[in-house]
Structure formats: structure tokens, C-alpha cells
Amino acid sequence: MSDTPNRQSEALLSVRSLSVEFGTGQGTFKAVKDVSFDVQPGRTLAVVGESGSGKSVTSLAIMRLTDYTGGRITSGQVLFRPDGGEAIDLVQASDARLREIRGNDIAMIFQEPMTSLNPVFTIGNQISETLILHQGLKGREARLRARDLLQKVRLPDADRLLDRYPHQLSGGMRQRVMIAMALACNPKLLIADEPTTALDVTIQAQILNIIRDLQQEMGTAVIFITHDMGVVAEMADDVVVMWKGEKVEQAPVRDVFASPQHPYTKALLSAVPRLGSLKGQPLPKRTPVMVMDGNVAKPVGDTHEQNTADYTKPVLQVDKLTTRFDVGKTFFGRVTHRVHAVEEVSFDIYPGETLALVGESGSGKSTIGRTLQQLVEPTGGTVRFDGRDMGAMSPADRRRLRQEIQYIFQDPFASLDPRHSVGYSIAEPIIVHGLINDRKARERRVHELLDQVGLLPQHAKRYPHEFSGGQRQRICIARALASNPKLVIADESVSALDVSIQAQIVNLLMELQEKRKLSYLFITHDMAVVEKISHRVAVMYLGQIVELGSRQAIFENPQHSYTRKLLAAVPIADPQRERASVRIEGEIPSPVRPVGQEPAIHRMREVAPGHWVAIEADSLRGAA
């Protein structure tokens, strides 16, 4: 871990014993404790850690942006050598000097490209601004240079893009614009804070490629902040692992993956879901998760095959379900455009089975979940629950269905009312469905539920903001189970969680499935989690299922080109692996269509028993 003096001297950036504090009501909170590392010119350093590890604070502290977020650098140095000569200590530098460096020598890209772009200025204006400010270019020159930059990040039709506004671009395009802006002044160092976390996997793969290419072309050093070990394996030369504000490990990327030293690194790596880890096994499997207990990693849980599905009679039958939304109206209220969110989708779910619905944003996977939970009205098709047609049910029966089908949302914090104790939130489904009317008995039931999801009875009196993200998701699961449902729809329910927490929640869901014979509709974009949890998988693209089959069939023998593309885009947490030579290009098309222009419905063919694939038209093959 110690650097040789020789290497130190040529480092572009040397962080030495950096500590950052935040003042809180209960005293001060040390977000970063005594962290040191070096960034070499032209290389990529990944800073990895889970939420609260201090990785983002570290990146902000390098540019002294912590000054604006209430933090205080209490000790340490940040030595920056822009020309390889005299080092500047950014901790001591004047504000004027820092302003020169920010955006010019050191540039930053943030996670959310929408909020980092100003919505009232055109793309061209925003890129030019940086150029005019730092490089002293004049209007016309700046615009030409801005166009070059957009071409550099491989945005097609750069000329027209210059005059567009941020909201007219997709998330992936906006992130490319952000990269173009960051690279505008040929920075020596690029700090990328979770730049692809908010993007779809295929778009993520494109962005990672661009960053990698540009880095080689321009010789920029990159600090890559991320929680995704797959991204680390694909991008990094060196890795710094952070845990609770401290640097616990630093090594070249291959060494970190091959022989992690610190117990936390080992725990982190063991929790990462790996695509292909269940190769050759027909059933999903629970495996122990390494959990940090003090300073040692301990395995929690056991290995258990999830043989819960009962394929005699489906609990839910969905037949040609269609959901469309009206958007765009003329002055007289005539609808001009519709979002074709879901088009003639059919599938069954059996008792004790997990069906994964995978797809990227705009594929309609969430809309299916919401339609089944009666949060959205379907346009057509039938849904049968336990053999009864939902469309023909009385209002009272439909209300009762909300007891038998439950929904778990992506963001557990947003889905809990901040004004009520979690005990109340968990008891609410019991109250509204009149399941237990005795107050004492209800309280006992809430305690029992808390216990089942691994929380304590005394937690019932607390409020959502007093819990961590993983605990909140456990609360949401307890709430969903309170009414004894048969089917639980989990909509990206583990996507926002740290990997170690994610692995625990996935295990919890599988354990509960076995105990209660639950069926899950597991909606997600994360292929690695799908492989771990699901019995069958349906791949969605633009509102239709393009491939449906057993987990093994989908992962080991994908037939549809989109399924293959999706699998290829997943970053693999293995630096030894050859980087995919196939370039993934193209945006996800929009499901918005003018009225009267109906999408073609794919015909499916059965390539193997239970394995259905959409017959591909050439046009789709081209797009995908």
C-alpha cells in the first residue's frame, strides 16, 4: 500500500492524510478520516465504497467543493501538479486560484445529468460558456469548438444539437454533453462521480466506452467514484476501497479482485452479483452473504435451492394486456400522440414462482406492475387472478385484490409517509382491510412482521428518517406482507441499495418466498440480480415481451438479439476478462407514437419447451 518516493514525485494528484468533517447536532461527524492516495497522469483510479463511505466527499474535497456543502477540511494536503512541476496545495490555495483550476485543469461529471445542466440554456450556450470563460474564445470560435466536442463524444448531428435544450435530449445524450463540457478545456484530471449510475445498462456501456476512448486520446487522468464493482473492473487501473470514511485498501485492479486483503473488500466482492454464477443450475439459489460485524466479515445465511414453484395452476394469468397513455393534445382536446407503454403482453405466474420482468427505461415493465396493482387502468386485455377475471370483478372484489397483491417500490424512503411511525405504516394494510380489529393483537402482528424481516419490535415507534436505506426497504417488505398477499410485485426494489444490503434483501425475499409460498413479479433492469432470484425471465423491449423462458434458457441460450445485447452490456466484475470488442450503439427508441400509428405486434415462436422468442423483423434487428 505504501508508495515508493519515486512514484510519488510523478503523481498528478497526491492526496495526503485528508480529513473532512461535517458539523451535526450531536457534535462533528468525520466523513473522511486520514485518507491518502495518488493519481498518476493518464491513469484511472476508482474510488469504491458504499453509501456513507466518504467516497463522494473525498472527490468533492479535492476541488474544495466541500466548502459549499457544509464540510470542513480539518487536515491534510491535496497536492496538484498541473504541469508536472511545482505542486499546488489545493487545501491552502486562494479562491481565485481554485476558480482557475476548477473546470480548467480539473473537471467533474456528476451522477444526474439533468440537474447538472441548466434547463433554460441551449446545449451550445452551455458548452461555449466554459470555453469563453476559461479559454478566452470568442462566440463564433467557441461554437465551432463546442461542435467538435459534441462530435468527440460521438453525438450524431452535432450541429443541430447545439441549439437544443437539455430536456429535449435523452439521459444518455445529456451525460455525453456533460462529458463534452468537462473535456472542453483539456483537463489534466477528470473526476467522475457515479456518472453512469442513473443510466440504462446499454447506455452505460456506451458512456464507459467513450470515457475510456477519450482518456486514451487526451491522456487525461480519471478519478472514478462508483459503487459498482463491475464498472470498476472494466474501467480502473488502480482501486481505492473506502469504508466508513477510511481507506481500507489500495491496489492495482487485478490484485484487488484476485486477492483482496481487507475483510471489508472481501465482503464487498462476495456480495457482488456475478452474471453467470449459476451456470448449469436450473433453480435459483440462496447463498450466504458476507456481512461486516465490527472489523470481521462473517457469512450470514445458508446455501439453499429455491425449489418453491408449483406449476399446476397459475396464480396470475395475463393475456394480451395493453396499456396506453394519452399525451399531446391539440387545442381542441383531440389526442395526437400516445405512449404505447404495454402492447399485448401475455404471461403467467405460478404459486411460489419468481418471474423477472427485465428491460430498460421505457420498456413498459413498471407499467405492467402498476396495471396489475390497479394503479393504472389497462386499455385492453384480460388479467385473471386465481382464475377470476379482474375486469369483471365488483369494486369490493377489486379492493380485496389489493390485499392479495402487494407492491414494493424502488425508493423505500419515498414510499413511506414521513409523518407516520413505521409501526403505523406496517399496520395500515391490516387496518384498511379490516384483518385484525383488536389493537393489541395488531400490535403483536406488527412486531411479528418486524421480526420476520430482521428488525426489532421497538423499531415500530420510530419514523422512516431514522433508518438506513436497507432497513427502510425491510420496513416496506414488512408492510407488503402485512395483509398476507399471494403475489408481491417488486418494482426495482433492490436497485437503489448498496450491494451488500442488496444481497441481504434478495436473500430475505427468497426466504420469505419459501416460508409463505409467495409469488413474485420481480421488475428490474439488473440482469445479475435476475439470475440470482428468478425462476423464469421475460425480457421486455418497447412495451412487448421479446423473449420469455426459464432463467437457464435466457441466460445460457439467449435467442433474441436484444436479450444478447442486454447481457453483453452488463459490466462484469472481473478485470481478467477481455473487454467486449462489440460496440453497443444506438438509443432506446421512444414508445410515443402519433395516433393511428400502431406498433406491430411481435409473433412468438417456441424454440424449446417454455422458451418463447419474438420473430425478429429486419428493422428491429437493425435497431437493436
Partner 1 sequence: MATAQAVSSSRSWFKSLELVLGILFAGGIVLVVLLSPALFPDGGEGMDLMARLIPPFQSWQHILGTDPLGRDVLARVAVGGKISLMVGFLSVIGAVIIGTLVGLVAGYYRGIAEILLMRFVDIQLALPFILVAIMFLAILGAGIDKVILVMIATQWVQYARLVRGSVLSLRDREFILSARAIGVGNGRIIFTHILPNVLGPIIILMTLQVANNILLESSLTFLGLGVDPLIPSWGGMLADGRTYLQTAWWVSVFPGLAIMFTVLGLNLLGDWLRDYLDPTGQTSK
Among 116, 354, 403, 563, binds partner 1 (CB under 8 A): 403
Task: Choose, by CB under 8 A, the member of 16, 304, 420, 445 that binds partner 1.
Answer: 420
User: 175 vs 473, which CB is nearer to partner 1?
Assistant: 473
The least CB distance from residue 433 to partner 1, in Å, is: 6
Q: Please, which residue, 170 or 373, has the CB nearer to partner 1? A: 373
Q: Please state, in angstroms and rounded to a whole number, the distance separating the CA atoms of residues 14 and 35.
A: 11
Kindly indicate which of the ranges 19-27, 132-140, 245-253, 605-613 contains the residues binding partner 1, using the contact rule CB under 8 A: 19-27
Q: Which three cell numbers stand for residue 193?
A: 462521480
For the chain, state the CA radius of gyration. Answer: 26
What is the footprint of partner 1 within residues 469-498 (CB under 8 A)? 476, 479, 483
Under rule CB under 8 A, residue 433 binds partner 1: yes
428 touches partner 1 (CB under 8 A): yes
| Residue 274 burial by Cβ neighbours in a 10 Å radius (0-12, 13-18, 19+) | middle
Helix axes 171-182, 201-218, angle to 10 degrees: 20
**Could you say whether residue 402 binds partner 1 (CB under 8 A)?**
yes
Locus of grid cell 481505492: 240
Separation of first and last alpha carbons in the chain: 45
Q: What's the closest the beta carbon of residue 140 comes to partner 1, in angstroms?
A: 43
Is position 327 an interface residue for partner 1 (rule: CB under 8 A)?
no
Query: In terms of CB distance, is 120 or 396 closer to partner 1?
Result: 396
Q: Is 304 in the site for partner 1 (CB under 8 A)?
A: no
DSSP 3-state assignment of 471? helix
CB contact at 8 A, 45 and 224: yes
Between 294 and 418, CB nearer to partner 1: 418
Binder to partner 1 among 244, 463, 568, 574 (CB under 8 A)? 463
- Which residues are within 8 A (CB) of 261 and not within 5 positions of it... i.e. 6 or more apart? 249, 251
Closest CB to partner 1 among residues 296, 432: 432
Which C-beta is closer to partner 1: that of 70 or that of 610? 70
Amino acid letter, 106: I
Question: Judged by CB, which is closer to partner 1: 71, or 263?
Answer: 71
Instruction: Please give the residues from 71 up to 110 whose contact with partner 1 meets the rule CB under 8 A.
Output: 71
H or E element at residue 319: strand 316-329
Dist CA 447 CA 338 (whole Å): 46
Distance CA 20, CA 66 (A): 8
* Residue of 1, 296, 432, 582 that binds partner 1 (CB under 8 A): 432
Among 546, 556, 566, which residue's Cα sits nearest to residue 612? 546
Asked whether 167 and 119 are in contact (CB, 8 A), the reply is: yes
Q: From CA 262, how far away is CA 49, in angstroms rounded?
A: 13
Min dist. Cβ of residue 361 to partner 1 (A): 17
What are the residues facing 221 on neighbouring strands?
189
Residues 51-70 that bind partner 1 (CB under 8 A): 69-70
- 392 counts as binding partner 1 under rule CB under 8 A: no
Residues 381-418 as b or e (16 or more Cβ within 10 Å = b): bebbbeeeebeeeeeeeeeebbbbbbbbbbbbbebbee
Q: Does 24 bind partner 1 (CB under 8 A)?
A: yes
Residue 445 is a binding residue for partner 1 (CB under 8 A): no
How many residues contact partner 1, by CB under 8 A? 36
Identify which of residues 26 and 581 has a Cβ nearer to partner 1 in the complex. 26
- Rule CB under 8 A: is residue 336 a binding residue for partner 1? no
- Is 337 a binding residue for partner 1 by CB under 8 A? The answer is no
**221 phi/psi in degrees, rounded to 5:** -85, 145
Binding residues for partner 1, per CB under 8 A? 22-26, 29, 69-71, 373, 375, 399-400, 402-403, 406-407, 409, 411, 414-421, 428-429, 432-433, 463, 465, 476, 479, 483
